[in-house]
Copies of this chain bind each other. A is one copy, B any other.
Amino acid sequence: MDFLEYIENRSNENLEELKEFLRIPSVSTKSEHKADIERAARWVAERLREAGFANAEIVPTKMHPLVLADSLEAPSGPTILFYGHYDVQPADPLEFWTSPAFEPSVREGKLYARGTADDKGQVHIHLKALEALKKSKGKLPLNIKIIIEGEEEVGSVSLWDFVARNKDRLKADALVVSDTSMLARGVPSVTYGLRGLNYYQMEVTGPSQDLHSGTFGGAVPNPITILAEAIAKLHDKNFRVTVPGFYDAVAVPSAKERKAINSLPWKESDFRKTVGARGLCGERNFTTIERIWCRPTLELNGIWGGYTEEGSKTVIPSKAFAKISTRLVPHQDPEKIAKRLEQCLRKLLPKTVDFRFEVLSTGKPWVAPFTHPIFKMAIQALEKGFGKKAVFIREGGSIPFVTQMYDTFKVPCVLIGFGLPDENAHAPDEHILLENYFAGIKSMAIFYSSLAQI
């Protein structure tokens, strides 16, 4: 039987199986989900075994387990390393989900659940494509190594550690990852650039305990006000980050690349609609697409302090907190940027408060040429699978492992995304378009099948 026919016949089964995967709340950032994380790892290993990867194994780490498998039955064929992650972002705020985050639900051709787009749905596309090839052809026409981690959303520390100690085991001719987005609906895409990501938490302490804002107000350092004043100084009026040295190493894209990027079939009006704000904003002299793909940012991801419930409480709190992230582009150094931000904040804060700064994770940016023949095969496979023209794009998000692999093995990294930018990857009502899920399985089966010829 032809593998495409095999895929076609199994579409209902595949979808039901994906739903099973999505029901496991494998939230990596919260310790209360430790058991779910482990359940998700076991689920992936079992599906790999069913797909014909008899040696699928769970590798414990200091944090969340890795799932590994390989199939090395094509002595003359290339070796591909496929990477994905089974962990997901927290589902909060829960009240904004139309259907519960961990109860998959199909509405208007879309599958809703935490992890549909990022990254369980995309991992499942590859599992099902490889299974179809294995089951319909008897064995794979290429060698493949699979590594699925559980810490992507929290900095991939264990993975990095594993890679450093297992270079031979992971060595491959190319890396394939599906954890990105397509440029737009009907535009299958291969990504050649990602931003790096540093994540920080800061804590400002004024009084040693909460105080009555009547009895003390006007004479004591209010940590909320002081935190806000520091945050406010991190951008200038042209939306440039004011941290000294922040832009020192930033590579500006060439005129040719800027032209290519700005000519892509990408509509600012669609972006605007997805965002849904009264207006857009960003760094002067750059287009929206340049701002999200090619420019570094500093964004506030969370803030809290004092009384945050119903009604009023006249308190001056002891502490206020913020979560901050910086997205980085070539050739910013994550460690240097983290130090510079900390120094900058220390200088901005008055001597009346205490300050604690924590770097939760760091991650380098990645941009690479797409000259290797594998890129052409990826584009062709996507065009066959989707029946649409495919394009090369960059992306504003971060996949630390890609950088790590690229730096470690100096091999081409092929990033093929099946999500869409408006699929709420880290937000309530995350979903994946079912047409992309199904065309994805076909495209990837075509892709892996064609790689035998490299």
User: Which residues of A does B touch, CB under 8 Å?
Assistant: 28-31, 89-90, 92-93, 96, 118, 153-155, 181, 195, 197, 199, 201, 205-222, 224-225, 227-229, 231-235, 239, 271, 275-283, 288, 291-292, 295-297, 299-317, 320-323, 325, 327, 350-354, 360-361, 395-398, 421, 424-429
Contacts and interface: CB of A to CB of B under 8 A. Distances in A.
Contacts of A421: 215-216
Contacts of A428: 209-210
A312 B362 CA distance: 12
B275 A208 contact: yes
A122 to B, nearest CB: 14
A16 to B, nearest CB: 27
A285 B350 CA distance: 19
Contacts of A211: 275, 424, 426-427
A80 to B, nearest CB: 25
Contact of A426 (B181, B212, B219, B429): B212
A352 B280 contact: yes
A221 to B, nearest CB: 5
Contact of A429 (B209, B227, B233, B424): B209
The 3 closest A-B pairs by CB, nearest first: A208-B276, A214-B397, A29-B311
A96 B211 CA distance: 13
A327 B218 contact: yes
B314 A214 contact: no
A89 to B, nearest CB: 6
A225 to B, nearest CB: 5
A154 B427 CA distance: 34
Given A221-B277, A302-B307, 11 more contacts: A208-B276, A208-B277, A209-B427, A213-B297, A217-B299, A218-B396, A227-B228, A228-B228, A280-B352, A301-B315, A307-B323
Given A31-B310, A218-B282, A307-B92, A299 B225 contact: yes
> Chain B CB within 10 Å — which of A218, A360, A421 has the most?
A218
Contact of A218 (B227, B233, B297, B322): B297
Given A181-B215, A312-B199, A221 B279 contact: yes
A30 B215 contact: no
